[in-house]
Structure 1
């Protein structure tokens, strides 16, 4: 039989071990809860076109309380296909000097805001299309991430870039490697795809882009659909809001199948939490398509009801009334083309989406 001292020492050792386990377990439980809570917190981040004149005021009062901004668009420099640029108009250094971009970002972050960076867009050339060297492509993406330190990057893939399968493979491999690097640094990197959609959902080429990313091992934070510019895919009696809801419902089902193809079975709610919606506010690019404030409120309610993770809009630069009617009803880069107060679309779409970008 053990002595009293040995029994006492044993009790102390057991108690110490129990405390240690409790502390360690508590830490991991806290971390799990914190990370889960962060992941589940829906967020709004409107796009700001970096190259539009006048520059969007990142410190402006028209921004939602979350103060998240998605800066657009990083593309290939037409004279150096593996060099990133802002809109093929400014090198990263030129944007620092001419647009004071880094100082503006710093001030936004100091005021509690955060940024995401979006690559691609509807004009110019996405880096993976122009840069055919996988090592240089990864270096180009890395240079942007290291320079601006976003927690979230977004790939707006449309037009010719959407049809370019080899570019999609290069992009997916480079992003997977970069995400793995970032995880190794302890920072993590959320990756979103932004893709065109019709009321029938993603196109076959859009689904292929999702599949490429998943097959390459990219941990996709989500797929954000562009609920805009539907053309003939929108029925004659279908409103812009109805078309957006139909596009989201269809995309939800398509994403479930994409994840199943890589052996991941997600619940319906898990799929909704990996989706984003981005309307083009006011007058769209195609004739007869106008996304008004009532539609913005309706889309916000739908997104909250479904548990959608992200709402964005194109664009923050346009979130104000035009000083004069846009010629022939054409969409403007700097105003919405509808009657509104400054920042009114962002306020309507952001309601309830109070999460912060990491």
Structure 2
């Protein structure tokens, strides 16, 4: 799912034409075939609702340290599908986030490991999505099944996640070698984890047309099933339909696509004599709309569409609901003059304080496969300036926006410049009123915070009584600093937390 590309570019799909095609097909095969399809499309779900879950896609590659103070990753209902893990290069089997960051980069630059651990401890649904519309999927880059299985497993183990989301789009749908390698690797990974008592849910995320999965999408389902993979479900990307009939709402297009996909899944399971879940094919199905403005300019998924789709999902017992993307789930600011152009940071529609996540996630309090999240018995790591990954908060210090601190075994990031305010974990303050955003726990593997050190004598030692002008460089406790403006008597190390008003900035290299 990438906001700059239509999944059906160049193809025009008429809703009416699709409906006629389906009716004609039913007429050819007879009433018996039609009767086999109707129960999937009309029978309410009978499965318990405790395992129906919601998790919006979160584009990890858009993060930066400063943005974490206003990050929506841990806000709202349900969980998160982390997107997207791809190969480092066309022939490089190393997993990366969007080819832009290694897993270690993501941990250091925007605290991804810590934020995921927070969600895990809170019992939120979590999945990692591999693939997407751009870059090279690991199955294409990894030359062997074993290497691919290791790459998938490396990511899942790092984040403690037991749900894999395979987002197969574009050229990857037709890459037969990669498809076979992917199926074999996922089957191997699933067997290994089952033997260790660690179940792995496998979801396929695929583009859909108004008449359901394309032939290429069905081939992806078949490939996994024939390799022995136990598929938890198929997640339909109900977006960018490029339909001729513009009078049909996005909700109706989505519902029609889901009905058709449910029938296709029932057929696939019946052909292999596999039992359907208690809720039928709906318990094997998910939906992911692109909220607000879609890549197809005249297609806009409104909040009314969201309410209609949510009502339908509740009626039939749809197992999973997601959205693309959590990063976009807000009204665009007035300085963004092109709402019909897809933004990665806002929906392009007026939301009036309502979120798509709240609408689509309402009542979906379950987890994948209904697994109960284990109780969090992780010990709180004591605050210690010698071992903490960031400075321990102090009422005597000044903090600029985007500065990280440790307090009571947790990491916080400041939302605005502050000093001598309430403690970061003040229970009497609503999150909106606090100057701090909770990021996640201090982790056992965290490295102690330390300022970069320069070789002795790189610059003159700072002297409190000396006058310093812009551009002057000094050393203080082994670290280098450069003057931003005229100053005297201002200790350089204050700039580590007070980037706004300190006359100094840290120098990381000579």
TM-score range, shorter chain: 0.7 to 0.9
SS in 2 for 1:286: coil
Quick check: 1:62–1:342 contact (8 Å CA) kept in 2? no
Quick check: 2:72–2:326 contact (8 Å CA) kept in 1? no
Q: Look up the match of 2:118.
A: 107
Quick check: 1:58–1:105 contact (8 Å CA) kept in 2? no
Q: Look up the match of 1:221.
A: 232
Per the TM alignment, residue 93 of structure 1 is displaced from its structure 2 partner at its CA by 1.2
Per the TM alignment, residue 166 of structure 1 is displaced from its structure 2 partner at its CA by 1.5
Structure 2 residue 357 is the aligned partner of structure 1 residue 340: no
Q: Look up the match of 2:205.
A: 194
Structure 2 residue 325 is the aligned partner of structure 1 residue 315: yes
CA–CA separation in structure 2 for the residues paired with 1:39 and 1:347: 18
Quick check: 1:126–1:161 contact (8 Å CA) kept in 2? yes
Q: Look up the match of 2:97.
A: 86
CA–CA separation in structure 2 for the residues paired with 1:169 and 1:103: 34
Q: Look up the match of 1:249.
A: 259
Question: What is the number of residues matched between the two proteins?
Answer: 320
CA–CA separation in structure 2 for the residues paired with 1:286 and 1:112: 36
Long gaps (5+) in structure 2:
1-45, 372-510
Q: What pairs with 1:320-331 in structure 2 (closer than 5 Å)? A: 320-324=330-334, 325=336, 327=338, 329-331=340-342
Structure showing the higher helix proportion among its residues: 1
From the superposition, tell whether residues 341 and 105 of structure 1 become closer, same or farther in structure 2 (CA, over 3 Å). farther
Quick check: 2:47–2:317 contact (8 Å CA) kept in 1? no
SS in 1 for 2:158: helix
Provide, for residues 303-331 of structure 1, a one-character-per-residue CA deviation record: whole Å limited to 9, x for no partner: 01011100000000000011134537111
Q: What pairs with 1:141-160 in structure 2 (closer than 5 Å)? A: 141-160=152-171
SS in 2 for 1:70: strand
Provide, for residues 122-148 of structure 1, a one-character-per-residue CA deviation record: whole Å limited to 9, x for no partner: 111111012222121111111111111
Q: Look up the match of 1:231.
A: 242
Q: Look up the match of 2:315.
A: 305
- Alignment match of 1:258 (pick from 250, 268, 277): 268
Q: Look up the match of 1:134.
A: 145
- Alignment match of 1:205 (pick from 216, 232, 235): 216
SS in 2 for 1:176: helix
Provide, for residues 195-228 of structure 1, a one-character-per-residue CA deviation record: whole Å limited to 9, x for no partner: 0001110000000000001001111100000000
Q: Look up the match of 2:58.
A: 48
Provide, for residues 22-56 of structure 1, a one-character-per-residue CA deviation record: whole Å limited to 9, x for no partner: xxxxxxxxxxxxxx988852100000000114556
The root-mean-square deviation of aligned C-alpha atoms, in Å, is 2.2
Provide, for residues 183-204 of structure 1, a one-character-per-residue CA deviation record: whole Å limited to 9, x for no partner: 1111101110000001110000
SS in 1 for 2:225: helix
Per the TM alignment, residue 236 of structure 1 is displaced from its structure 2 partner at its CA by 3.0
Provide, for residues 149-190 of structure 1, a one-character-per-residue CA deviation record: whole Å limited to 9, x for no partner: 112110111111111122111101100110111111111011
From the superposition, tell whether residues 177 and 69 of structure 1 become closer, same or farther in structure 2 (CA, over 3 Å). same
Q: Look up the match of 2:179.
A: 168
SS in 1 for 2:330: coil
Query: Which of 1 and 2 has higher RCO (CA within 8 Å, sep 6+)?
Result: 1
Q: Radius of gyration: which is bigger?
A: 2
Per the TM alignment, residue 62 of structure 1 is displaced from its structure 2 partner at its CA by 3.8
TM-score of the aligned structures, taking structure 1 as reference length? 0.84
SS in 2 for 1:153: strand
CA–CA separation in structure 1 for the residues paired with 2:50 and 2:273: 23
CA–CA separation in structure 2 for the residues paired with 1:174 and 1:326: 46
Structure 2 residue 189 is the aligned partner of structure 1 residue 178: yes
CA–CA separation in structure 2 for the residues paired with 1:215 and 1:292: 39
TM-score of the aligned structures, taking structure 2 as reference length? 0.60
